Structure 1
Amino acid sequence: MTKAILALLPAIALASCAVIPKVERTDGFASIGETTLVGSAKIRPDSLIEDSRCPMNARCVWAGRVIIEATVMRGGGFETRRFTLGEAVDGLMLDTVEPGRMTDTQLKPSDYRSHFSVAP
């Protein structure tokens, strides 16, 4: 019995070092730090650079914008890109950012969920 336990110790030690991969999304939606598949590219939003959108419960002269910095992985390489809501970047587009802003609510970067698509 002691030999059996000793034989299992290396396996147990290796199992404790295993890295559990993050689930990768395939629907174009991703929060900060998540990866999603869009066409042949993988996109991982890394940080919220700007959210100057007009709050939904306010009147504004300017609609504002959202800028998200993301890592784009394709063809074995990766690069950092800044995506502005509604504008194409290298054939990809940030087309939705949720939730909408409200005047009485302060959003944290972790609250944001973005959707990316292949640009038309």
Structure 2
Amino acid sequence: MQEVLCITKGYRIKRYFLLKSALIIATIFLFAMPASAQEEIEEIEHYVKAYLGEAFNFEGKTIRFKEVVSDSRCPRDVTCVWAGEAKILIEIFKNGKFIGEEIFSTRSQNFSLSKFFQEDFSLHAIALSPYPKTSRKIKASDYQLQFKIIETR
């Protein structure tokens, strides 16, 4: 009778280890599946330098540097509490047709263009030159905007 108990006990132990092993393997597969199912996101960056009135074309889309609406950046030869910002007006075209204009700030990290295009585009101001000085006024035609357009696919 003792042998029967040992066999039954051994069977329960084997069954416990089999269930535990199966549970561990199932857990590994469940966590591994989402990692392999994720699609890769590709970012394409377009770097642009444009003077006032100039445009940048990419894939049937156009961004035109129309105007510096305001420039309250702290002049180089002055110590300021706040660095200030410049506000820039851009025009947006798709396949040659005007679809809107937008004001963005040099202080904003990323400005989304998604409301104009179905794709995911954002604009990032890198620099606006020349930088102000107290000794001279900047002519509108002297402004040059450096920006980056990021397309996420």
TM-score, length-normalised on structure 1? 0.68
Letter in 1 for 2:80: C
Aligned match of 1:13? none
**2:105 counterpart (84, 87, 109):** 84
Gaps of 5+ in 2: 1-45, 113-121
**Equivalent-residue separation in structure 2 for 1:39 and 1:67 (angstroms):** 26
Query: Once superposed, which parts of structure 1, at least 4 consecutive aligned residues long, lie more than 4 Å away?
Result: none
What's 2:80 paired with? 60
Q: Which residue of 1 aligns with 2:20?
A: none
Higher deviation after alignment, 36-45 or 103-112: 36-45
Partner of 1:117: 148
Quote the Cα distance in structure 2 between the aligned partners of 1:40 and 1:96.
25
Q: Secondary structure at the match of 1:118?
A: strand
Cα distance in 2 for partners of 1:46, 1:116 equals 14
* Corresponding residue pairs, total: 95
Q: Which has the larger radius of gyration?
A: 2
Residues 1:119 and 1:60: Cα distance change in structure 2 (over 3 Å):
farther
RMSD over aligned Cα atoms:
2.3
The question of 1:74 aligning with 2:94 is answered yes
The one-letter code matched in structure 2 to 1:48 is: V
- With over 3 angstroms needed to count, the CA separation of the structure-2 counterparts of 1:55 and 1:69, relative to structure 1, is same
Match of 1:45 among 47, 65, 68: 65
Unmatched 5+ stretches in structure 1:
1-25
Q: Distance in 2 between matches of 1:105 and 1:32?
A: 19
* In 2, Cα distance between equivalents of 1:99 and 1:112: 6
Percent identity of the aligned residues? 27
